[in-house]
Structure formats: C-alpha cells, structure tokens
Structure 1
Amino acid sequence: MTHNKLYDYSPIIDRPPLTWPNGARVAVYAGLNVEHFLLGAPSTSIWPGTADLTPDPLNHGWRDYGPRVGIWRTIDALDRHGLRASALLNSTAAQQYPRIIEAGVERDWAWLAHGETNSKLHTGLARDEEREALAGIVGTIEQATGTRPRGWMGPGLTETHHTPELLAELGLSYVLDWTADDQPFRLNVPGMISVPYSVELNDLMLLDRSGPDFVRMVADQYEVLHAEGGRVLALALHPFVTGQAFRHKYLDQALGHLAAAPDVWLTTSDDIAEHYLRTQVGRI
C-alpha cells in the first residue's frame, strides 16, 4: 500500500479560514499522558542498557516516578495557569491509579483512551479481536472516570487500519495519532477527524535538551502559529519527564507564557474536536 486511504491530501493554504471561539488565533491544549507500564516489559527508557532485564529497576523506576510524584507537580502547574488536562489514559492506569482519576474528575479533565498499557503497542490485531479490545479499553475508562472517552491516542501513536472505524462504532469522534497538521482534519471514516498532537513539542524530546530550550520551543511555536491563525498548539507532557523537579519550573514558565499570550483559547482536545465538527465538517 503506497497511499494512505485514511485521509486525503489537503494543503493548508487552500482551506477556508478556521476560527476559534472569541476570536482566538491559537487553540492550546495540554496532552497529559497518564500511563501504566508492565514490570517485565521493555518500554520508554532513559537508558537502554538495562531495558531487557526483568526486573529493570532503573527504567521502570524512572517511569514509575510519573504517577507517584511527577504528575502532582504537573497538576499544580496546570491549575496555576488555568489549563484543564486532556488526559491520555491507559485503561490499566485507570484501574491502578485511583488518586489520579479522582484528581482529574475534580478538575473536569477530558479523558482520552490511550490503549491498555504503554508497554504494548496497539498493533497486530485482527478486526474482531481489536473490536473486543477497544470496547474493553473504552468501557474500563468510562467506568473509572464516569465519562465515555471521545478521543483516542494509541500507545506510541499506534493504530491498525481498522482502528478509526472501530472507534467510531464505539461513539468516539477523533484520534491524535496522525501528527500531520496544525489543524484538525476530516478522516475518510464517517464522523471521525484527526486533532493535532505533537511528537516534537513533546517533553520526551527534552531528554537531551535543557529546560530553557523547552520554554523557547513553546514560545516559538506559539509565535508562528499566532501569526498564521486558526492553528492548534498541542503540548505533550509525560509526568516522568517534566514532572522531574529540575524540569518542573520550566514547564511552569512555558504554561505561564501560554496563559498570558494574546488570542489564546486554553482548552481541551475534546473541545477542539467538538468545535471543528460543529463548524467545519462538510466545508472541506
């Protein structure tokens, strides 16, 4: 297969203008990864030298710092600057971390389905097997949070060729996996759209960068998107990265910069999708 049948080519310069509520030029959301990792499975690692060991205290402990410590700093920073998280939630994390779920429900977070666990990519599933798996993931998150997810991002941004269609069957309306644009766009699945996410404006890119670099990246991204208008700034956060004490103050600075910037809509991925579906679908 050489052509992606999921969506069509659409140059951004040929589209009708995209407007946000109250004349905002940039829609900003924080994609907060709330993930669970299996003890004996390799996954995101700070040092690959021990990643295949069981147990792997070095890397597993680094990841486990997120739900134990880092996320609470991140929540404080989001609260301070008036951002509701778009929580990218593993269904296993929904079961394992009730205090995080409680905190998110209190703050009216948007809850997105983020697969079962970030130790397993969402791939290699037959259609019926995937339908059952997705129903279990969505149902577990709905039971834990009291809210049925409206969006999806696969672990490691993974899907099968059937994922968007099967998600639509379950009542979801958007995915974050296809980081191909600065605006939402329609998929060739009825009722399904893509909402921007970022693999570059993403704190995992900080592992070999400084905190001030991250603040500069956020400010530069906003500046260009503001000049263009009708764009989405997605800030991808992992609590075991920007939740580290020495990085936290730079996350706080970046959020403060965005909160004080002109013409910004501080929102969630759910609300971006809803606005786009209501105002744009059918016009492109």
Structure 2
Amino acid sequence: MTNTAGNQLFHYSPITERPAINWPGGARVAVYVGLNIEHFLLDRPSTSIWPGTAELVPDALNYGWRDYGVRVGIWRTIKTLDRYGIRASALLNSAAAEHYPQIVKAGMDRNWAWLAHGRTNSILHSGMSRDEERRVLTEIVDTITAATGRHPLGWMGPGLTETFNTPSLLAELGLTYTLDWTNDDQPYDLEVPGLISVPYSVELNDLLLFARGLSGPEFVRLVQDQYEQLRADSEHGGRVMALALHPFVIGQPFRAKYLDQALRYLAEQPDSWLTTSDEIAEHYRSTR
C-alpha cells in the first residue's frame, strides 16, 4: 500500500488487492440503514429545501420542513423499519438526544445502534483547537451515553465534517469507527490506532437524491441496482451497502410506499446481512 501525498489518515489500497472479507452466515452484502436524527437551530441557516428564505431569521419555511422529520416523518419511517425487522444505525446529534427523548426511547426499545453525529446539524464540526475539540467531543459523547445508556462506538460529523485532530480524539474517547470518509465499499483501517472507516454514502442518500428531482420509483430502482452490483462485486469479498435516510425527506407521506418497497427488496435477498454499522465494524475488527 502507498500513502496519498500529504494524507496521514489512511493509505491508498485498491479493492482488488485485499484479503476477502467474509460476512456472517455466508452473506455477500452487509446492509445498514443510517438514520439521521438531527436537531437544527431556529436562528441559523441550515439544510434547506428553498434557498430563497434560507438566510432569514427565523426561516419558517425551511425550519418547518426540517422539523417535520422529528415531529412526524421519523415515526412513519420507524413503522417501515419495524415491518422488515431492520434496526437503525442512528446518527444522533447530542442536542437531538436532549430535545427528543421520545425518539431516543423508541430507538432503545428497538435496540438501535447509536452513533455520535456532532451536537447540531446547524453547526459544522470544524475550526476548533485540539483542546476545544476534545471538550466538545467529550460533551457530545457523554450526552449521548447518558440519553441512550450506551457509549457510542461510531462517529459521523454534521455534514461529514472533521478536523485533522478528530480521528485521534475519537479514539481517545473510546470510539472505534467513523463514517465520514465515503471512499470505499469495505471497512478499512485508519492510521489512527484503534479506529477504522466504515462505508457511508453521499450518493445513496435521500437528501441528495430527492433534491435532484428523483422520483419514488427511481429511488427503488436505484436501491436495487446498488445491491445487485455490490453483490456481483462480492465474488471477491463481502461488500457494505449503506442507505442514508433523513426523516424530513424519506418521511414525507408520498415517499413512504417507496421506502417500503426498497426495504422489502433488501429484506428478501437471501445473501444480504441486514445489520448495523456497529456490527459491521465489530465483525471487521474481530476477523481481519
């Protein structure tokens, strides 16, 4: 393996030159749902559906769109996940853990995996000194641990953001993997001892897909195409398929039946391992 110039976090490793990964039960593709559970601030610009009002304070149009997710959309999404026995990998803002205890309880009742997803998705995880970041990360991890009863093992920054110190600080705090580096179909070791990268997707991601005008039937076809290709690729070693969901997007009423169709397809595949990012990381760490 060779190191990309200036990159001290991970080495270049072509997928064609690695030992095969074998998933439990002979599965070919490990599938997990990354369910974003986020809190947004009323007085800061954030993810928006209509840029025309995004800089206003308050921005009722865009804030209301986002807030629909935790008030309504997530409960519709949970019903669909339950229908197919799928446990979410919950990407949890620590502020969401404080503001939405009913959602946390629902996830605890279903044995979700809990990942630290920053404090709020209105503020990116950047621009901090090492000491300041250590304090911020400690507060995030402690808040999520207190709310869920579990110390998070995984991390994804708001907007997939990190500093150069984030990986080593995550390892220092007892986290074992990050989703931020979406550059692979398999887990791989980072240069920070004790920390690995687990695949996530900015392509198979409802927020970006539907923003481009994707229809519900096209979403289902895309999920199927992704799985079929990863399964074909898995002839040379197991692959990971991450489905990234945001309740204010996929939780809209007119999209519900298409999420149902997509998850039904995945649940029907005899060679899929419907699991969580925690379990993918642990299996990789224990068998490599």
Deviations 1:173-225, CA, capped at 9 Å, x for gaps: 00000000000010000010000000000001112110011101100000000
Offset, 1:82: 1.2
TM-score norm. by structure 2 comes to 0.96
Partner of 2:257 in structure 1? 249
Tell me if 1:197 matches 2:205. no
Partner of 1:165 in structure 2? 168
TM-score norm. by structure 1 comes to 0.98
Instruction: State the distance in 1 between where 2:107 and 2:85 align.
Output: 14
Q: Percent identity?
A: 70
Tell me if 1:226 matches 2:231. yes
Moved over 3 A (4+): none
Instruction: State the distance in 1 between where 2:87 and 2:225 align.
Output: 22
Partner of 2:187 in structure 1? 184
Instruction: State the distance in 2 between where 1:252 and 1:238 align.
Output: 15
Matched letter for residue 99 of structure 2? Q
Where 1:36 maps in the other structure, the secondary structure is: coil
Deviations 1:109-161, CA, capped at 9 Å, x for gaps: 00000000000000001000000000000000000000100000000000000
Offset, 1:3: 2.5
Offset, 1:2: 5.1
Of 210, 215, 226, the residue aligned with 1:206 is 210
Of 5, 9, 33, the residue aligned with 2:8 is 5
Where 1:28 maps in the other structure, the secondary structure is: strand
Deviations 1:70-114, CA, capped at 9 Å, x for gaps: 000110011101110000000000000010001000000000000
Where 1:179 maps in the other structure, the secondary structure is: coil
Within 5 Å, give how 1:36-75 maps onto structure 2: 36-75=39-78
Tell me if 1:237 matches 2:245. yes
Instruction: State the distance in 2 between where 1:253 and 1:68 align.
Output: 23
Instruction: State the distance in 2 between where 1:5 and 1:180 align.
Output: 15
Matched letter for residue 278 of structure 1? S
* 5+ residue gaps, structure 1: none
206-215 or 266-275: which moved more?
206-215
Partner of 1:215 in structure 2? 220
Matched letter for residue 229 of structure 2? V
* 5+ residue gaps, structure 2: none
Where 1:122 maps in the other structure, the secondary structure is: coil
Where 2:11 maps in the other structure, the secondary structure is: coil
Instruction: State the distance in 2 between where 1:262 and 1:47 align.
Output: 41
Tell me if 1:150 matches 2:181. no
Instruction: State the distance in 2 between where 1:248 and 1:35 align.
Output: 20
Where 2:6 maps in the other structure, the secondary structure is: coil
When the two chains are superposed, the root-mean-square deviation of aligned CA atoms in Å is 0.8
Partner of 2:267 in structure 1? 259
Matched letter for residue 89 of structure 1? L
Offset, 1:262: 2.1
Instruction: State the distance in 1 between where 2:47 and 2:155 align.
Output: 20
Where 1:240 maps in the other structure, the secondary structure is: helix
Instruction: State the distance in 2 between where 1:275 and 1:98 align.
Output: 30
Matched letter for residue 271 of structure 1? E
Instruction: State the distance in 1 between where 2:185 and 2:46 align.
Output: 28
Matched letter for residue 38 of structure 1? L
